[in-house]
Each structure stands twice: as structure tokens, then as C-alpha cells.
Amino acid sequence: MRLLSKKDSKLITDPLADNNPITIQVLGICSALAITAELKASLVMGVAVLFVLGIGNVVISLMRNIIPSKIRIIVQLIVVAALVIIVDQVLKAFAYELSKTLSVFVGLIITNCIIMGRFEAFALGNGPWKSFLDGIGNALGYAVILVIVGFFRELLGSGTLFGVPVLGDPIEKSGVYSIGYENNGFMLMPPMALIIVGLIIWVQRSRNKALIED
Amino acid sequence: MIEHIELFFKSIFIDNMVFAVFLGMCSYLAVSKKVATAVGLGAAVIFVLAITVPLNWLLDQYLLQPGALSWLGAEYADYDLSFLSFIMFIATIATMVQLVEIVVEKFSPALYNSLGIFLPLIAVNCAILGGSLFMQSREIESLGLAFNYGVSSGIGWFLAILAIAAIREKIRYSNVPAPLRGLGITFIITGLMGIGFLSFGGMLTGGEDGAVTTEPTAKVEQAKTEKAKELADNTKTVE
């Protein structure tokens, strides 16, 4: 027996590329850009959103028939806020340094539009299992872009990956630095994240002409 | 007074919500196709920020901070409810947005119709929650400063969305590569504007520290003499 039917697995694979939350749906950009100067922070942010979106989608989907539609935004916000508090407390307990790097952006998962967008567009109209898969898929699509941006920014900006130097030592001029390469400190500046996402969109849309806007 | 002016310019230009910390990007990208709608949303953001930031400042000061409950009595002094701040802030914001919506609908139906869909959207605009969270993490001292911070960061956001909307109206006539059209070019333009806004960073410190400016020139002089020496050495070895 297959674990996922064809329709179910499409829920996960679709948001990874052709319906990516960041590059196609334009949701959840704020946090995606602000914390991607390091690969580790990007990965942790991806995992945090995976947790919040996966569980939140299930909760909202379970409650979808008893939420009055007039106050659904407040209900959704409260569910997300409760989940984000859990993430924030776990981070503070087990990875204090990292929680300092992420600062207010953990809190901003609450207003991450991907989460509200998926609640509105999917969880309010579908069952818990499907909503769970949809949440996981969209969070993975978000994490993929985060990791790509984080990879380039950390590699070109400080010559490291996960804090481990991979291009050699910039002070002793070993590795790539011996042939005159210099770290591009500009990659660590916030605006470069925007430009990298712009370039990702460029690459993606030239590969898939159907996505081009007129 | 001086700290008010400083905070005002700092939150508009240096710590601009869009270009320095990327808050409210979703609505910034979604609603910036026309100048008219961008102005409406920008005004609403200024308004909501001006209300929620001082309100959340009061909450933070008298309810959430470590030791904030001491006004209830000495036995409450060591309570720390700051882990509740996310849920309290977002509840305030959601209620305020709802209230503002009702009030605007009652007293100015014309404004309500022009803002219509954007008002409820503001509840999930990260610039609003971000304003309150930065207010908390930067430890703003007084209610007046909190109000100032709310208004001025709202103005910064307003300026950003106005600028990008104007650019996007004009860029329709430009020959942008097809895959970059729309979203892609908007991202890149925002990045370039962000680089421009980085230059405001020196605005509040410039001119005061004369000592710093002399030091680099001395270093440059030293480097020049060293280079000259090197050149001389090289020419010698060539000879």
C-alpha cells in the first residue's frame, strides 16, 4: 500500500516549485529575507515554520466547522500565536544564541502571510490529513528558498557554511583566497537578499515559461 | 526634544521598515501596483501603528515586563509574563483593527470604501506586529516616544510603498526581460532602493567626530609612502 495517494503527494510537491509560496504566491517574504545571512538561521526558521504551519493547519482544519466566519481571523491569529510561543520558548531553552540572532523574527512567524494564507485558502475547506500535507508542502517550499538564499549569502559573504570555513582562511590567504578572492561583505547586507530572490525568480521563470507575468 | 527628533528621522530613514528590516513586504508587493491604492494602504498603516504601538507599550510596561506587575503589590514583583507578549500584542492589534474598521465605517463611509479590503489585511501585516516587537526589544522609554516611533515607522513604510508604486507604474513601459517582469524586477528594484537607503546610516553621526576622519587620512598617507618605498625597491631589483 502506498503511503500517499497521487493527489496527496501532489499537495507536497506542488509548493516546492511550480506553486512556491515565496516566488509564485508572494507570501511570507519578510522573514525570508531578514534572517538569511546565515545558513543555520535560515534552516532553523524553515523548521520553525514547518512546525507551526503543519500543526496549525491541522488545528484549524479540525475547528473549521465551529469557527464563526466573522471572527475567524482572530481565532487563526490566536492559534498561530500559541504555537509560535512554543517555538520561541523551545529556542530560548535549547539554542539561546540562535534565538538572539533571530530576535523578533520568531515572533513575526505569527504574521507570516504563508500561514494565514494557507489557513484561509486550504485548512478552512479541507480535512485534517490533507491540511497537514498541504502545510508541510508549503513550509518546505518556503524552507527551500530560505536555504538557497542563506547558502549563497553565507558562502559569498563570509566564506563559510554553517559557520565552517569552506573557501579557506581569509587571514592566512589559504584556499581560494590565495588566488586573490575576497569575501563580498555586501552579501551580508539586507538588500542583497532581495536581489538574490529576484534572481531566483528570474531563473525559475525562464525555466518555466508558463509562470511569466505579462 | 532632541531624542524625539532623532527617533523620528531614525525610524523613517535609517531603520526603514521595508528597506532595513523587510517588514510588511507581502502587502508592500501585493498592493503597490497603483499609486492610489498604495497611498490608501500607507495611510491606514500609519494610523494603526500610531494606535497599537503606544497601546502595546502600556501593556508591556504594566503587565508583561519582568517586574511590571509590582504596581499590584510587592508579592507580584518577580513575575515575568514576557512570554505572553506575542499573544497579547496580536490580540491588541486584531481588536484595534476591528475597532478602527467599525469607527471608519460609521463616520467616513467614503474612506471606508476606498480602504475597504485593506483594513482587515493590516491585522496580518508584519510591519504592525514588528513595530510593537521592536518597540519592546529596543526598550523605548516613554509613552510619547512610543507614539513617535509608531507614527514615524508608519511614515517610513508609507514612503517606501509610495516610491515603489510610482516606479512600478512607470516600469510598465520599459523593456524588462520577460521572466523578470512583474515580481522579479520589483524585488531587484527594492533591493537597489535598500542599498540607497543604507547611505542614510551616517545621517545622525556625521560631522560630530572630527578625530575619526583624520585617522584614515593618516593611514592613507602611510600606505602611500609604503607603496612608494615598495616601488622604489622593485625598480632597484629590476636594475
Contact B124 A77 (CB under 8 A): yes
Which chain B residues touch A56 with a CB distance below 8 Å?
Answer: none
Q: Is pLDDT of B124 > 80?
A: no
Contact B133 A33 (CB under 8 A): no
- pLDDT digit string, tens, across residues B152-200: 999 999 999 999 999 998 888 888 888 888 788 888 898 899 888 888 8
Q: Which of A178, A155, A153, A182 is CA-nearest to residue A166? A: A155
What integer pLDDT is reported at residue A213 of this predicted model?
67
Look at residue B205 and give its three-state secondary structure: coil
Enumerate residues 81 to 110 of chain A having a beta carbon within 8 A of any beta carbon in chain B.
Answer: 81-82, 84-85, 88-89, 103-104, 107-108, 110
Mutation for testing the B interface, residue in A83, A84, A101, A110 having most B CBs under 10 Å = A110
Is B48 in contact with B42 (CB distance < 8 Å)? no
Contact A197 B185 (CB under 8 A): no
Contact B19 A77 (CB under 8 A): no
* Helical axes A113-121 vs A39-63, angle rounded to 10°: 30
- Shortest Cα distance, chain A CAs vs residue B55, angstroms: 18
Contact B84 A214 (CB under 8 A): no
Structure-block grid coordinates of residue A152: 549563497
Which chain A residues touch B183 with a CB distance below 8 Å?
Answer: 23, 26, 201, 213
Quote the CA–CA distance of A193 and A62 in Å, as a whole number: 37
- Chain B contact for A213, CB < 8 A? yes
| β-pairing verdict for A164-165 and A160-161 | antiparallel
Is A126 in contact with A26 (CB distance < 8 Å)? no
Torsions phi, psi for A99 (to 5 deg) = -65, -25
- pLDDT digit string, tens, across residues B69-113: 777 777 777 777 778 888 888 888 888 888 877 887 888 787 777
Confidence bin at B210 (pLDDT 50/70/90)? very low
Helix segments in chain B, DSSP class H: 2-9, 25-30, 35-59, 85-107, 109-115, 118-122, 126-137, 143-171, 183-198, 210-238
- Shortest Cα distance, chain B CAs vs residue A137, angstroms: 20
Partner residue opposite B129 with nearest CB, options A111, A192, A195: A111
What integer pLDDT is reported at residue B163 of this predicted model?
92
- Nearest residue of chain B to residue A114 (CA atoms): B26
Structure-block grid coordinates of residue A68: 464563526
Its pTM surpasses 0.90: no
Which chain A residues touch B177 with a CB distance below 8 Å?
Answer: 202
Mutation for testing the A interface, residue in B18, B60, B90, B136 having most A CBs under 10 Å = B90
Contact B181 A212 (CB under 8 A): yes
Q: Name the percent of chain B lying above pLDDT 70.
A: 81
Which chain B residues touch A84 with a CB distance below 8 Å?
Answer: 86
Confidence bin at A109 (pLDDT 50/70/90)? confident
The residue type of A33 is L
Enumerate residues 23 to 52 of chain A having a beta carbon within 8 A of any beta carbon in chain B.
Answer: 23, 26-31, 33-34
- pLDDT digit string, tens, across residues A19-65: 777 777 777 777 777 778 788 888 888 888 899 988 999 998 888 88
Secondary structure of chain A as H, E, C letters: CCCCCHHHHHHHHHHHCCCCCCCCCCCCHHHHHHCCCCHHHHHHHHHHHHHHHHHHHHHHHHHCCCCCHHHHHHHHHHHHHHHHHHHHHHHHHHCHHHHHHHHHHCHHHCCCHHHHHHHHHCHHHCCHHHHHHHHHHHHHHHHHHHHHHHHHHHHHHHCEECCEECCCCCCCCCHHHHHCCCCCHHHHCHHHHHHHHHHHHHHHHHHCHHHCCC
